[in-house]
Every structure is written in structure tokens, then in C-alpha cells.
């Protein structure tokens, strides 16, 4: 349990190459076995290797949050084999919505609409709007999402956010413990507002 007032920064990070399937290490073997590459993998002489995946990592007290989560999730390798940070994937429109969730601000239907192709009719868009609203109404905010598609339905790692007069508190429930981080409110809002300003340019 971490109850000290923490520091928070956002830094570029990437999931490193990791072995996904070592039983296939040549095109001939892959064709023979009829195995298809797993999502976001490359065939090498070591086998199917998950490729690097860049994202924005939450550095809390100067340590990547994913490394701290590995301990409470009792992972043999790293959570980044399945999940990556939900920010910095290259779509500023979805990032804007995620940051607003982290700041506990209201997200408009227009902001959700802007994520999807403008050529869609309102009928085509309605299902996605309802789905997005459902995610936004959840008190848990997804901070790590599926490394392959980023879809909310694929699950991930979530945080609950509470505010006091002077601080913002994150609670993350793992398999063996709860991580709790308390941030100075000015620091917390400064970090995410600064990122909003960056992606608005």
C-alpha cells in the first residue's frame, strides 16, 4: 500500500519485443502448421515476436506504473504483454476523452462523434455513442487497455479516482494488493491539462 503524496509525469514509453510463440520460427513451419501470427506480432527465427508498442506511461514517484502493477498482479513477465497505456497511441481525439475521464470532466456527445468517421450517418453512429457513454458512466477509468485494439470491451487495468480538497487519489485493485496513490491536486491537474494543450495544437 502506498499512502504517500506521489509525483506524476507522463513519458513516452514502449512495450519491448517479447516472444509470443516460440514453436514457429520459419515461414515453412508456419504454413505447415497453419498457425497464423498473433495480433501485432512478427515472424522471426526465434518465433512469433510481439512488436514494440509505443504509448504514454504514467511515471509515479519516478517509476513506470506498469512495473509497480507487475508486483500486485503477480505476473511472471509483465502486464505489457497484454496491455499498454491508454494514452499516446496516436489518436488525439480518443486521448482527449481519456484525459477528461482522468480529470473527471464531462465529455460531450460531439467529442465522441468526432472520434468516428464523419461519413457515418447518425444511425450508424448511435451504437458506438451508446457504448462510449456506458464506458464513461463506469466509475472505474481504464488506464491500460488491449495492446492490439484498445477497445474497452477487451478489458484492461482500471483506476478509481477520488478527490479531496487538496488531492486526487488513485486506487488500483490487483490480484494480491491495492495500490493507492495520492497526488497534489495542482500537480495532477497540471500534468493532464498540459497534455490536453499539447494534443490541441
Report the alpha-carbon distance of residue 141 to residue 173 in Å, rounded.
Answer: 12
CA triplet 99, 114, 83: central angle to 5 degrees?
Answer: 45
| Contacts (Cβ under 8 Å, ≥6 apart) of 55 | 12, 13, 14, 15, 84, 85, 86, 87, 88, 89
Give this prediction's pTM.
0.80
CA triplet 6, 12, 13: central angle to 5 degrees?
Answer: 90
**Among candidate residues 201, 68, 199, 42, the one with its CA nearest the CA of residue 143:** 68
Q: What is the pLDDT of residues 65-118, one digit of tens each?
A: 999 999 888 878 788 888 889 999 778 999 999 999 999 999 999 999 999 999
CA triplet 138, 140, 146: central angle to 5 degrees?
Answer: 100
Give strand pairing partners of 13.
55
Q: What is the pLDDT of residues 110-134, one digit of tens each?
A: 999 999 999 999 898 999 999 999 9
Grid coordinates representing 193 are 491539462
Q: Is the per-residue pLDDT at 189 higher than 80?
A: yes
Report the alpha-carbon distance of residue 196 to residue 102 in Å, rounded.
Answer: 11
Report the alpha-carbon distance of residue 161 to residue 185 in Å, rounded.
Answer: 12
Amino acid at each position: 500500500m502506498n499512502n504517500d503524496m506521489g509525483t506524476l509525469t507522463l513519458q513516452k514509453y514502449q512495450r519491448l519485443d517479447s516472444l509470443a510463440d516460440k514453436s514457429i520460427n520459419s515461414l515453412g513451419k508456419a504454413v505447415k502448421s497453419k498457425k497464423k501470427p498473433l495480433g501485432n506480432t512478427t515472424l522471426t527465427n526465434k518465433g512469433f515476436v510481439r512488436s514494440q508498442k509505443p504509448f504514454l506511461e504514467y511515471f509515479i514517484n519516478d517509476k513506470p506504473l506498469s512495473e509497480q502493477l507487475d508486483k500486485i498482479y503477480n505476473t511472471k513477465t509483465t502486464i505489457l504483454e497484454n496491455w499498454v497505456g491508454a494514452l499516446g497511441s496516436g489518436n488525439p481525439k480518443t486521448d482527449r476523452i481519456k484525459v477528461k475521464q482522468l480529470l473527471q470532466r464531462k465529455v460531450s456527445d460531439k467529442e465522441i462523434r468526432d472520434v468516428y468517421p464523419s461519413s457515418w450517418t447518425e444511425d450508424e453512429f448511435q451504437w458506438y455513442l451508446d457504448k462510449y457513454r456506458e464506458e464513461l458512466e463506469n466509475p472505474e477509468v481504464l488506464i491500460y487497455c488491449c495492446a492490439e485494439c484498445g477497445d474497452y470491451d477487451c478489458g484492461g487495468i482500471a483506476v478509481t479516482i477520488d478527490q479531496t480538497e487538496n488531492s486526487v487519489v488513485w486506487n488500483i485493485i490487483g490480484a494480491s494488493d491495492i495500490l493507492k496513490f495520492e497526488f497534489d491536486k495542482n500537480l495532477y491537474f497540471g500534468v493532464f491539462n498540459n497534455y490536453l494543450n499539447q494534443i490541441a495544437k
